[in-house]
Copies of this chain bind each other. A is one copy, B any other.
């Protein structure tokens, strides 16, 4: 437990989130990485957790840890977001009657390879996670938050949604969908009691990302510039209610701005393609 100034700051945050937004927050894709870091933020802010993911046992372990450390309640919902009907039913029934005040869609699915070499079935799985389940969950909780004029949303996008992502095309397109839908909704509810933000990530030191890093010096360079999930969560929650659309990390912000201001679209696309051009 922190003491002195840190404890005071932590105490302020704890009162804030629950008092401002409500008793319960849901994180879709809560098992590890950024989703887990967002759960920690909510728990620090005194909110109970609805933790959604595929690995029930692991979620339960982490929920128990948050309960012990912060005294918050938690619920685990086992759901595969590539099956939107089942996933939505599980999530909506588990949260019915709870005082919901926060949601975050962190989950995503990707698949390397040329667009036409990936089967339509795999593409539609990605669309189910990155578009359909996202849309339904966001729509469901926005209706609740708008009706009570209280609540907050932080959805997670990726710099691939800004640049496009050759050899990972559908992933970038889904992330662009999340980015642009959330930006627009953030603006629509600017003058209401609902705070909406989309948080665009560059390379982040999550377990999934670390499996895909290049080996050798290139990989070391990536790791040196990457943010930790906790750094991402700090910035995302710090800006909640202040900005619609953030890019986490100063280097990432500068990089996107430089590409947008000083290069053509085609140059940005080709640069992104250069990382994976040896995939097929």
Contact = CB atoms under 8 A, between A and B. Distances in A.
Main SS of the interface on chain A?
helix
A265 interface: yes
B261 A243 contact: no
A280 to B, nearest CB: 9
A185 interface: yes
Contacts of A12: none
A131 interface: yes
Most buried by B among A160, A166, A173, A243: A173
Given A120-B136, A132-B127, A269 B184 contact: yes
Nearest to A118: B139
Interface residues of A, number: 55
A168 to B, nearest CB: 7
A20 interface: no
A174 B132 CA distance: 12
A44 interface: no
A104 interface: no
Interface stretch (A61-69, A175-183, A208-216): A175-183
Interface of A: 114-116, 120, 123-124, 127, 131-132, 135-136, 138-139, 142-143, 146, 160-161, 164-170, 172-181, 183-190, 243-245, 260-262, 265-266, 269-270, 272-273
